Amino acid sequence: QSALTQPAAVSGSPGQSITISCTGTSRDVGAYNFVSWFQLHPGKAPKLLISDVSERPSGVSNRFSGSKSGNTASLTISGLQADDEADYYCCSYVDSTNIWVFGGGTKLTVL
Amino acid sequence: EVQLVESGGSLVQPGGSLRLSCAASGFIFTDHYMDWVRQAPGKGLEWVGRIRNSGSGYATEYAAAVKGRFTISRDDSQNSLFLQMNSLKAEDTAVYYCARDSKSHEIDYWGQGTRVIVSS
């Protein structure tokens, strides 16, 4: 099972909005609404930002939002802050396999 | 507060074995499926496998890269998750994360990871 496709890097200035895409196939991202997004800061436990494509867990800032169109899911971060500088990963269930696949990760730089 | 604390990572020779542990607290362990996810140096996250809870027969699923070599188990009496790794290869070198599944069976909490290095 191939990893989902994410841009290797994105950047933005404080206060701006950025969007990270996550492209899969009709067997994973396009199959169900089981797409999650995680934030990784070096040395810290990964953090869930979005589940079920667009659901934000309690405690996660409403600056983070998720969506999906066809085989591509997206994470949008609005009002960029310095602390948003991190790696971001999408994750999707793979249809009829009971396995999960991650994207290759996107490094966000806040300029 | 949900806490997941991994242990057991170390340097091991190719072909060797290692057992990782994850101590869980702050939630009803028996209610949740549990996962292992790894991240090799300079690489992205890779799902390793999952074990369901007793209600789902403790069924396990594995990524193709580790199937037949790795075994996930759990001890509900000790709120602990394990990863038995056999026939280790250099490409298994990674930080290994323990993770909890939400009630909808997507990962929602992670530990901080334990490092495994496979090298002679």
A63 touches A108 (CB < 8 A): no
Looking at CA atoms only, how far is residue A110 from chain B in angstroms?
20
Residue A36 and residue A90 in contact, taking contact as beta carbons nearer than 8 Å? yes
Summarised one tens digit per residue, pLDDT across range A61-93 is: 999 999 999 999 999 999 999 999 999 999 999
Does the structure show a pLDDT above 80 at A2? no
Q: Is the CB of residue B72 less than 8 Å from the CB of residue B11? A: no
The dihedral built from the CA positions of residue B36, B47, B64 and A94, taken in this order, carries a sign that is positive
Would the CA dihedral through A106, B41, B86, B114 be positive or negative? negative
For residue B108, give the nearest of A48, A93, A101 by CB distance: A48
Chain A residues 87-106 with a CB less than 8 Å from chain B:
89, 91, 93, 98-105
On the CB side of B40, CA atoms within 13 Å amount to 11
* CA distance, residue A98 to nearest chain B CA (Å): 7
Residues B19-64 have pLDDT tens digits of 999 999 999 999 999 999 999 999 999 999 999 999 999 999 999 9
Number of H helices, E strands in chain B: 0, 11
Mean pLDDT, all residues of chain B: 96
User: Per residue in A40-51, pLDDT tens?
Assistant: 998 899 999 999
Q: Which candidate, B98, B94, B100, B63, places its Cα nearest to that of B83? A: B98
- In one-letter notation, the amino acid at residue B5 is V
pLDDT at B104: 82
Residue B61 · residue B50 · CB < 8 Å: yes
**How far is residue A72's CA from residue B27's CA, in Å, rounded to a whole number?**
33
Can you state the percent helix, strand and coil of chain A, rounding each to 5? 5, 50, 50
